[in-house]
Chain A
Amino acid sequence: MIYLYDGQFDGFLTCIYHHYYDEKCDGIYEEKTYDPKLFEITRFIKTDSDKSTKVHQAMLDQFSEYMYFNIYHTFLSNIYDKDTMLLNCLEIAFKHGLATDRMRTLDAIFQVLKIGRQVGFEKHRFMGLLRFSDLGHYLYARFEPDHNIISLLGEHFSDRFREEKFIIHDVRRAIAIIGHKGQWLVTDFNHIVDDNLLDEEIFFRKLWQTYFDKIAIEDRTNLKLQQNFIPKKYRKHLLEFGANTNKSI
């Protein structure tokens, strides 16, 4: 039996609920992207917040914070099988509770820790790599992460920019964080932000580029090392790597 769901965390947790209290399943997939296999029987599980809350609470009660975050991070990953991997991991974790932390060599656990780490890593990377433009009324940043990490950035930036209005826009997923006065939410977002920049914005962008060029020590030039830290795919929205100074990034 394969459970299909709407792609939201609550939906996934509802599947877990059904797995335990209704009918055991062998796999969980997001309905939208599910690639049907011959002989696989599927069933769509409707999100039910009572059920998902119960599972969620059980996770908080029984797992370490470390394990919990790795599970959540893995859920946000762009890996096709992630929900099924999580199912396998949760079966062990609900059996062993806190002792699960000591079982990192089991494949089902190790996979989740590994992917969780990658997602956490991408989040951390974008805490540094996001670039905001001052568009006059608000700060605007555009980005294209591999994993669905936008919700992980909300707290950091809304604290940091406590008195600003800001938008963080995941262009590929067409969602955004809207933040204002320490509050924030994630919402669908399809607006095209206009490219008329203030002089001051252009000035500081150029100043940043000047700064960036000057701080490298020529005798130590090491483009390979630079590339390891900042692969090409992350450079698109970065001024210092050639993004257009006169357009919003």
Chain B
Amino acid sequence: MLENNMMERLGILAESAKYDVSCASSGVEKKNTGSMGNAAACGICHTWSADGRCVSLLKTLMSNDCVYDCAYCINRSSNDIVRTSFTPEEIAQITMAFYRRNYIEGLFLSSAVEINPNHTMEKILKVLTLLRHEHRFSGYIHVKAIPGADQMLIYQAGLLADRMSVNIELPSESSLKLLAPQKQSQKIFLPMAQIRESIIRAKEEKRHYMSAPSFVPAGQSTQMIVGATQDSDRSILLTSEKLYKTFNMKRVYYSAYMPVNKGKNLPDILTAPPLIREHRLYQADWLLRFYRFSAEEILSEKESNFDLDYDPKFHWAINNMHLFPMEINKVSYSDLLRIPGIGPTSAGRIIKQRHLIKVGFEDLPKMGVVAKRARYFITCDGKFFGIKSFDIASIKNAVNPIPKHTQLSFF
């Protein structure tokens, strides 16, 4: 059973999957209904890799033997690399062995397009069937839906998986044409729409019969690569907003492009991955999902990219100083959310407490407010605790002073 080159193959296939960023196991709370496994709504990290990322799932490819030739991908068919695959039995076995030892929270299975989309999707479905039926595994499973695969296969997979995702890969049609000509956006959107429909239908049926099967209860997500093309932050954010609205995405993930290939349409192989940009996109994404911002507000037509030195919310606030300072004991919940240094939890606490006693400046840290950020934008019972000169440059400098080493220049 334990083939000796399993080690080697897992090395190759896990390494190929590592750029896939969605690692979260959160989003479903479920009890064990089989023989082994449950899921906690808050998500559980089992360890942290050397790059500081939370490891929660066994994240691997089924195969890296791809018939497609996407320019940005290490597994593209024109690359000369070692090709290898797992059988569905092997994936199921490793998942169970890791899970029992509490190394992982579940499985995240992706794959290159091996032979054709249907063949690949069939293998993914086989893994799901083995885990759910043979091993009676109740833990978390996230699988990729392969664009171009038969609808029926995707549907069956969705009945067994907790989450499914179809990667949009790049933020625009033109970028797809340029770098992944075999993937048309229509083919990507089709399974997204199908998954959305099936989720809605399953929820509807559940309302009538408790025993109706659920369909990807943790929802669908997608991912796009940032920095492989010329797309601006604004167009990326607008695309995300559309994805959330059109397909009820649970998450859109962003992955800073790591140059692994040379190509005339690609950034130079020595380009550093745009990590700060990726970070700003995640922050803006939070603003979309939890802070009631729209993409248009975050990046207006006038500016197409983030200020890398300041987070998007602060940036927005600075550009809308006419709205500030806000009185913390008066403004609505949605307005509280717009104040830098205040999040949904602290806003909720402020609302709770101010019914009873007025919130003073000294209370803010206990509410979880980042007071040194918020102070420039608020009054507490009429009093302002910011700096004397209420101008943008001084606030910017107070919040994020330009570090000394960038002021000094050796050349």
| Interface: A68 (CB within 8 A) | no
Question: Across the interface, do B31 and A159 meet the contact criterion of CB distance under 8 Å?
Answer: yes
Chain B at the A interface: SS class:
loop
| Interface: A44 (CB within 8 A) | no
Question: Across the interface, do A133 and B101 meet the contact criterion of CB distance under 8 Å?
Answer: yes
B residues near A105, Cβ cutoff 8 Å: 353, 357, 363, 366-367
User: With A104-B366, A211-B10 given, is the CB distance from A163 to B36 under 8 Å?
Assistant: yes
* Assembled-state Cα–Cα distance A156/B37 (Å): 10
Contact among A134, A159, A161, A230 for B47, CB-based, below 8 A? A230
Question: Across the interface, do A216 and B355 meet the contact criterion of CB distance under 8 Å?
Answer: no
B residues near A192, Cβ cutoff 8 Å: none
Question: Across the interface, do A229 and B98 meet the contact criterion of CB distance under 8 Å?
Answer: no
Q: Mark B83-99, 1 if CB is under 8 A from A, else 0.
A: 00000000000100110
B residues near A228, Cβ cutoff 8 Å: 52
- B15's nearest neighbour on chain A, judged by CB, is A214
| Interface: A69 (CB within 8 A) | no
Question: Across the interface, do A211 and B14 meet the contact criterion of CB distance under 8 Å?
Answer: yes
Question: Across the interface, do B52 and A229 meet the contact criterion of CB distance under 8 Å?
Answer: yes
| Interface: B188 (CB within 8 A) | no
B residues near A225, Cβ cutoff 8 Å: 48, 51-52
Count residues on chain B whose CB falls below 8 Å from chain A CBs: 55
B residues near A204, Cβ cutoff 8 Å: 94, 97-98, 101
A residues near B149, Cβ cutoff 8 Å: none
| Interface: A32 (CB within 8 A) | no
* Assembled-state Cα–Cα distance A217/B54 (Å): 12
* Assembled-state Cα–Cα distance A164/B52 (Å): 32
- Segment among B38-46, B150-158, B208-216, B246-254 that sits at the interface with chain A: B38-46
B residues near A215, Cβ cutoff 8 Å: 14-15, 17-18, 49, 55, 59
* Assembled-state Cα–Cα distance A128/B38 (Å): 13
Contact among A156, A163, A217 for B18, CB-based, below 8 A? A217
**Looking at chain A, what size class is its interface with the partner chain?**
35 or more
B residues near A214, Cβ cutoff 8 Å: 10-11, 14-15, 18
- Segment among A13-21, A35-43, A76-84, A95-103 that sits at the interface with chain B: A95-103
Interface centre among A128, A161, A164, A224 (most CB of B within 10 A): A128
Question: Across the interface, do A220 and B37 meet the contact criterion of CB distance under 8 Å?
Answer: no
Question: Across the interface, do B58 and A217 meet the contact criterion of CB distance under 8 Å?
Answer: no
* Assembled-state Cα–Cα distance A156/B101 (Å): 14
| Interface: B406 (CB within 8 A) | no
| Interface: A194 (CB within 8 A) | no
| Interface: B343 (CB within 8 A) | no
Interface centre among A204, A206, A229 (most CB of B within 10 A): A204
Contact among B47, B53, B58 for A129, CB-based, below 8 A? B47
B residues near A128, Cβ cutoff 8 Å: 44-47, 56, 102, 105
A residues near B94, Cβ cutoff 8 Å: 204, 207
Question: Across the interface, do B45 and A229 meet the contact criterion of CB distance under 8 Å?
Answer: yes
User: With A105-B363, A159-B32 given, is the CB distance from A217 to B101 under 8 Å?
Assistant: no
* Assembled-state Cα–Cα distance A77/B86 (Å): 46
| Interface: B35 (CB within 8 A) | yes
- B97's nearest neighbour on chain A, judged by CB, is A204
A residues near B100, Cβ cutoff 8 Å: 132, 134, 139, 161, 164
Question: Across the interface, do A156 and B40 meet the contact criterion of CB distance under 8 Å?
Answer: yes
| Interface: A34 (CB within 8 A) | no
Question: Across the interface, do B7 and A207 meet the contact criterion of CB distance under 8 Å?
Answer: yes
Question: Across the interface, do A164 and B36 meet the contact criterion of CB distance under 8 Å?
Answer: yes
| Interface: A240 (CB within 8 A) | yes
Question: Across the interface, do A110 and B366 meet the contact criterion of CB distance under 8 Å?
Answer: yes
A10 CB to nearest B CB, Å = 29
- B136's nearest neighbour on chain A, judged by CB, is A163
| Interface: B356 (CB within 8 A) | yes
B384 CB to nearest A CB, Å = 20
A residues near B51, Cβ cutoff 8 Å: 216-218, 220-222, 225-226
B residues near A130, Cβ cutoff 8 Å: 102
User: With A160-B32, A211-B14, A226-B50 given, is the CB distance from A104 to B349 under 8 Å?
Assistant: yes
| Interface: A60 (CB within 8 A) | no
Question: Across the interface, do B32 and A212 meet the contact criterion of CB distance under 8 Å?
Answer: no
A179 CB to nearest B CB, Å = 13
Q: Mark B247-282, 1 if CB is under 8 A from A, else 0.
A: 000000000001000000000000011010000000
Question: Across the interface, do B47 and A212 meet the contact criterion of CB distance under 8 Å?
Answer: yes
Which 7 A-B residue pairs are closest in the complex by CB-CB distance? Answer: A225-B52, A216-B50, A220-B51, A216-B49, A222-B52, A229-B48, A128-B46
- Chain B residues within CB distance 8 Å of chain A: 2, 6-7, 10-11, 14-15, 17-19, 31-32, 35-38, 40, 42, 44-56, 58-59, 94, 97-98, 100-103, 105, 139, 258, 272-273, 275, 349, 352-353, 355-357, 363, 366-367
List 10 A-B residue pairs with CB atoms under 8 Å apart, sorted by A's residue number: A105-B363, A139-B101, A141-B102, A161-B36, A164-B36, A204-B101, A207-B7, A207-B10, A217-B53, A226-B49
- Chain A residues within CB distance 8 Å of chain B: 99, 101-105, 110, 124, 127-134, 139, 141, 156, 159-164, 200, 203-204, 206-208, 210-212, 214-226, 228-230, 238, 240
